[in-house]
Amino acid sequence: WHIQQVLAVKNYKRITFNEITLKRVEEALANPRQIDLNRVASQECRRVLDRLVGYLVTQELRRLMGKPTSAGRVQSPAVFLVVLREREVRNFQVINHFGVRLFFADVSRGTTWYAEWQPVPDFASKDFPYVQDSNLAQHVAGTRNVVVESCEDRKAERHPPAPFISSTLQQAASNALKWDPDKTMQVAQRLYEQGVITYHRTDNPNVPDEAMDDIRTVAKALGMTAVDERRTFKSAEGAQEGHPAITPTYWSERSASENDDELALYKLIWVRALASQLEAAIYDVRTAKLLAVGPGGKALRFTASGKTLCHQGWLKEDAEANNPVPALTPKQILSVHSGELLKKKTQPPSRYTKASLIKEMERRGIGRPSTFASILKNITNKGLIEEKSRKLVPAPLGEETIAKLEG
């Protein structure tokens, strides 16, 4: 619209495409349209909101504080989240408490398994589920026989995560590659420009229907099975879903890049997108409830839970049992091999990383796919927040600014 106005172009055509491939560009050229003035107006509206908050509030803050601080429609809530979390960490009261784990030997299989003590409701409450009496916990750890109350088997499905959107791509690259969100978006931009991934600024977690044939072909070649019907994922509330999820443009290409960084990010995108349409993994889950008599004749309740992967689906992991609880029958009496006293303490909420702050901003509908990385860069560069050992903490200027903005 700006170009059309400045050049005073009367006859024009506007085209749009989400991936730089011959097929998509040809489709776009075959379906031109006019400029959508509603979209132009919505973009201008957002800019006006940015300026009403940014310019007016920043000016007043600087007058009040006598310091070169700043505010913004999205940056201030982002700093506010970091400040709120820091206050929670400071005010957190650590509670020291005890747990108990009983170990059992399965002689027939040559394995051991364990059960955890459940002190609620007999020795603790839902409101305060902590046992602080070490003598009691020691007594429980000395349990020598238990009786089986119940043993249930069930199947549990584990579905793959959705393909990447801008925010989840930044989170995954931060966790897996230890990258800054800004770097992730720069590398994604280069992959997009090479035509090997779809548009990387998106909040829609779904692959298009027409990608399914390619996905099935690639899955079959890898000896895996794709779902019969395309799996769909729910997008966040307020998502615009203007572009599909971030996926490879040529699904059969397992690697595409011009350097190691691009190769690493492309691989993350390719694996995640493909996995999203593979069969669910299925586990055999066994849960046993065990009973013993405790102090004062009160019941001591223990729960043992184990699972084994029985159908791999999208997961590439060993089918080794996690806590191999054997088949048990009600009223069966078991001898305890050993008991362990567990010293525990409550943990304060963890400070945000850049990845988890982006996740929280997205959950609350703060910011857009194209702005997450730049907002974090902005508030860090302006000295409002700092990064220490990959954790975000408010800088003094940030704390002072939020204190002035509150209320």
Side chain identity at 349, as an amino acid letter?
P
Half-sphere exposure of 402 (CA within 13 A, CB side): 21
Q: Which two tokens stand for residue 242?
A: 């203007």
Residue 385 in contact with residue 77, Cβ under 8 Å? no
Q: Residue 114 contacts by C-beta under 8 Å, 6 or more apart in sequence?
A: 101, 102, 103, 104, 304, 323
Burial string for 283-319 (b: 16+ CB within 10 Å, else e) reads bbbbebbbebebeeeeebbbebbbbebeebbbbeeee
Instruction: Return the DSSP state at 144.
Output: -
Distances (CA, A) of 121 to 60, 118, 128: 55, 8, 10
Active-site residue, from 199, 266, 283, 352: 199
Q: Which two tokens stand for residue 248?
A: 């490879």
Of 298, 288, 289, nearest in space to 139 by CA? 298
Q: Which long-range contacts (CB under 8 A, 24 or more apart) does 177-181 make?
A: 177/264, 177/265, 177/268, 178/390, 180/354, 180/373, 181/354, 181/355, 181/358, 181/372, 181/373, 181/376, 181/377
283 is catalytic: no
Q: Which two tokens stand for residue 306?
A: 């184990």
Report the distance separating Cα 95 and Cα 92, nearest Å: 9
Of 370, 354, 336, 362, nearest in space to 104 by CA? 336
Residue 399 in contact with residue 384, Cβ under 8 Å? no
Catalytic residues: 199
